[in-house]
């Protein structure tokens, strides 16, 4: 099938299945193009919880589809590529976290949404890169065990110095590998461009930024900025929305290395197969789901 035929078939199957297609900001352009909603994991999970569709095709990575299922257990949640995982989420297991918690019995336990349902079930509250600072400020405990992203943890600790954040040593393989020399070169090449960076980047890069935020916050910032040139320090998929929403502005990717291979596993073909064969369905242990839902719902209350 060629691309147009695939898109046509996807639309037909979507109607038949009473499905919606949601895509993360890091997905391939053509997957973002056919999606009903494109956004970050937080916005997509919230959307999935409110839609009356019976089936959700989640074009993203495993923890995101799980988060949708945690909040919408009555829906069928499909992940088109079952091997699309997040190496950062895999850097903490529920078992390792239970051991670490024993060392800090008085600490609140907070997990980045980039974590498995089992890990979320061990935590008091979740956060995303958009709301991490507000979530941390909302916690009464001074000590906070934060998993799994050390870079996001470091970023929060600078903004909420009254808290004592105990870091896990996880990181995003895509953002963490970018070093300052590459960013300095880009800044020299484009001196009038603003540098917008994701907090999953190393702290020394975050210090160089004009703005730090989640994918959504980076897109919102660029949309409303009077500047016309930007260096984008997050996964290259965001360029699709940035360029579409700002045809008169120029965007440079901070590094050609900013590509998440797991996010790029999903193609139009895999979305078609997913709807056609109703695969791969996310299933969760109900006890884990209920405990993970508490952590996600507490986050939703903060906003
Ligand atoms: O929360 C998300 O969707 C991720 C992984 C990144 C972001 O900043 O949107
Ligand atoms: Fe995980 Fe990084 Fe890929 Fe996001 S970009 S899914 S944190 S590996």
* Rounded distance between C-alpha atoms, residue 233 and residue 197, angstroms: 4
Closest CA to 145 of 99, 92, 104: 104
pLDDT given for residue 84 in this prediction:
98
What are the extents of the domains in the chain? 3-85+263-283, 89-171+288-302, 178-253
To test ligand 1's pocket by mutation, which of 22, 135, 215, 300 has the most ligand atoms within 8 angstroms of CB?
215
pLDDT given for residue 82 in this prediction:
97
Find out whether the beta carbon of 86 lies less than 6 Å from any atom of ligand 2. Answer: yes
Listing DSSP states for 67-95 in one string gives HHHHH-TTSEEE-S-TT---TTGGG--HH
* Rounded distance between C-alpha atoms, residue 149 and residue 147, angstroms: 6
Q: How far is CA 220 from CA 74, 133, 203, 206, in A?
A: 32, 18, 22, 18
pLDDT given for residue 27 in this prediction:
98
For residue 235, give the ligand 1 atom closest to its CA: 6
Q: Say whether 178-253 and 89-171+288-302 share the same fold.
A: yes
**Burial environment of residue 16 by CB neighbours within 10 A (0 to 12, 13 to 18, 19 or more):** exposed
pLDDT given for residue 223 in this prediction:
98
Q: Give exposure, 184-210, as e/b (b: 16+ Cβ within 10 Å).
A: eebeeeeeebbbbbbbbbbeebbebbe
- CATH code, 3-85+263-283: 3.40.50.10800
Contact 294, 287 (CB under 8 A): no
- The angle subtended at Cα 133 by Cα 300 and Cα 51, nearest 5°, is 25
Closest Cα to atom 3, ligand 2: which residue? 260
pLDDT given for residue 45 in this prediction:
83
Find out whether the beta carbon of 88 lies less than 6 Å from any atom of ligand 2. Answer: yes
Query: Which of the 8 DSSP states describes residue 25?
Result: T
Query: Which of the 8 DSSP states describes residue 28?
Result: -
- CATH code, 89-171+288-302: 3.40.50.10800
Closest CA to 172 of 211, 209, 214, 138: 214
pLDDT given for residue 246 in this prediction:
98
Q: Phi and psi dihedrals of 82, rounded to 5? A: -65, -25
pLDDT given for residue 303 in this prediction:
76
Show pLDDT as tens, one digit a residue, over the chain (303 residues): 899 999 999 999 999 999 999 999 999 999 999 999 999 988 998 899 899 999 999 999 999 999 999 999 999 999 999 999 999 999 999 999 999 999 999 999 999 999 999 999 999 999 999 999 999 999 999 999 999 999 999 999 999 999 999 999 999 999 999 999 999 999 999 999 999 999 999 999 999 999 999 999 999 999 999 999 999 999 999 999 999 999 999 999 999 999 999 999 999 999 999 999 999 999 999 999 999 999 999 999 997
To test ligand 1's pocket by mutation, which of 45, 129, 133, 171 has the most ligand atoms within 8 angstroms of CB?
129
* Rounded distance between C-alpha atoms, residue 73 and residue 117, angstroms: 13
* Rounded distance between C-alpha atoms, residue 42 and residue 60, angstroms: 12
Token digits for 113? Answer: 């949404």
> What is the CATH class of 178-253?
alpha beta
In the three-class reduction of DSSP (H, G, I as helix; E, B as strand; rest coil), residue 251 is classed as strand
Closest CA to 303 of 72, 51, 127, 68: 127
Contact 291, 109 (CB under 8 A): no
Closest CA to 253 of 155, 180, 176, 182: 182
């Amino acid at each position: 099938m060629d691309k147009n035929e695939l898109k046509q078939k996807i639309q037909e199957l979507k109607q038949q299945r009473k499905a919606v297609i949601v895509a993360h900001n890091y997905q391939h352009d053509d997957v973002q193009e056919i999606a009903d909603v494109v956004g970050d994991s937080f916005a997509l999970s919230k959307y999935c919880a409110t839609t009356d569709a019976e089936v959700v095709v989640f074009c993203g990575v495993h923890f995101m589809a799980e988060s949708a299922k945690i909040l919408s257990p009555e829906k069928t949640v499909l992940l088109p590529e079952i091997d699309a995982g997040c190496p950062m989420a895999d850097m903490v297991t529920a078992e390792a976290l239970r051991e670490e918690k024993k060392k800090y019995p008085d600490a609140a336990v907070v997990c980045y949404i980039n974590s498995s349902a089992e890990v979320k079930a061990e935590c008091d509250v979740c956060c995303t890169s958009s709301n991490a600072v507000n979530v941390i400020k909302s916690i009464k405990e001074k000590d906070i065990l934060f998993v799994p992203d050390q870079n996001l943890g470091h970023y929060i600790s600078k903004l909420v110095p009254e808290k004592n954040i105990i870091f896990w040593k996880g990181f995003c393989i895509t953002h963490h590998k970018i070093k300052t020399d590459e960013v300095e070169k880009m800044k020299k090449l484009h001196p009038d461009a603003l540098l917008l960076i994701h907090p999953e980047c190393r702290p020394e890069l975050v210090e160089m930024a004009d703005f730090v935020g989640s994918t959504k916050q980076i897109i919102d910032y660029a949309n409303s900025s009077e500047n016309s040139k930007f260096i984008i320090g997050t996964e290259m998929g965001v360029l699709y929305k940035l360029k579409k929403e700002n045809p008169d502005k120029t965007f440079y990717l901070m590094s050609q290395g900013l590509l998440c291979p797991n996010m790029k596993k999903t193609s139009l073909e895999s979305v078609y197969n997913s709807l056609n064969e109703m695969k791969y369905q996310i299933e969760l242990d109900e006890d884990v789901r209920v405990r993970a839902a508490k952590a996600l719902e507490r986050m939703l209350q903060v906003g």
